[in-house]
Amino acid sequence: MPQLHNLNISSLNTETNNGIKSEIPTNIELNGSNFSPSIRVWIGATPTETIFCSSERLNCSIPFLNLICSDLGFNTETAILANSNNGNEKLDVPILLVREEDSVVFPTSLSFTYSLTG
């Protein structure tokens, strides 16, 4: 059974185009055990581009916030409004490991946090 022990997140980059700030996906290095080439990393309900490095390391790209929200059934503006009403400017999304050949989901105790401030 694959297990995720920790992760290293490269810095989140932002891009401003015509006054509109947008996120540029960055990468996560995931360290654990029992990884295989058939394991894919999901951020919430969104599959990521996953690269198998070894039985102890995976790399994946972080999806844009609007895709995460869409896959969870709401839009970015709704997420910002709901969280700002609670005094929270962040959205924590669980990191899951999924074995592709049989779609078995292996939950982890780790999450990725999106900033909802503009």
* Domain chopping of the chain, boundaries: 3-115
Q: Which residue has 């050949």 as its token pair?
A: 101
pLDDT at 79: 73
pLDDT score of 99 more than 90: yes
Residue 98: CB atoms within 10 A of its CB come to 17
pLDDT at 64: 83
Q: What is the pLDDT of residues 7-36, one digit of tens each?
A: 998 766 665 545 555 555 588 999 999 999
pLDDT score of 96 more than 80: yes
Distance (Å, whole) CA 13 – CA 38: 29
Q: What are phi and psi of 38, to 5 degrees?
A: -90, 0
pLDDT score of 102 more than 70: yes
pTM of the entire structure?
A: 0.81
pLDDT at 26: 82
The rounded mean pLDDT for the chain is 85
3-class state of residue 76 by DSSP: helix
Nearest to 99 by CA among 46, 30, 36: 36
pLDDT at 33: 98
Domain 3-115 has CATH 3.40.50.720: no
Q: What is the pLDDT of residues 34-90, one digit of tens each?
A: 999 999 999 999 999 999 999 999 999 988 888 888 888 887 777 777 666 666 777
pLDDT at 19: 53
